């Protein structure tokens, strides 16, 4: 279900805060509420699907396939002979991929 309460709260708060022109305040509040309801201000790290390069409509098989492809590419054991900086970046990316995959699995179990 889509969220709607941000629009409602923004509408009334905008009208109340901009008392000199309530319709304009309500319109501005409605737009800001819509932005919050549709997650315009959400950071990329909050979306585990974006880390794996997928959309939220991806099937379980697509999630597993993307996870295996990325983790095999960035696994620290594959970077054993590489420079220290490159190995550290691969470890950080592998941690990010694992965290995103775990988050997706937790979300899908609910």
> Comparing 96 with 79, which gets the higher pLDDT?
96
Instruction: Average the pLDDT over 98-103 and give the result.
Output: 93
Q: Residues 13, 58: contact at Cβ < 8 Å?
A: no
Instruction: Average the pLDDT over 62-81 and give the result.
Output: 89
Give the Å distances, CA to CA, from 22 to 39, 70, 79.
26, 51, 61
Quote the pLDDT of residue 43: 63
| 55 secondary structure, DSSP code | -
Q: What is the pTM of this model?
A: 0.58
């Amino acid at each position: 279900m889509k969220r709607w309460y941000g629009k409602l709260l923004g509408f009334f708060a905008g009208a109340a805060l901009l008392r000199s022109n309530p319709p304009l305040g309500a319109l501005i509040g409605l737009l800001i509420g819509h932005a919050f309801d549709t997650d315009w201000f959400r950071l990329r790290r909050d979306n585990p699907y974006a880390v794996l390069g997928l959309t939220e409509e991806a099937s379980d098989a697509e999630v597993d396939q993307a996870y295996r492809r990325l983790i095999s590419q960035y696994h620290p054991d594959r970077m054993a002979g590489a420079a220290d900086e490159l190995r550290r970046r691969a470890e950080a990316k592998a941690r990010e991929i694992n965290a995103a995959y775990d988050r997706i699995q937790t979300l899908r179990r609910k």
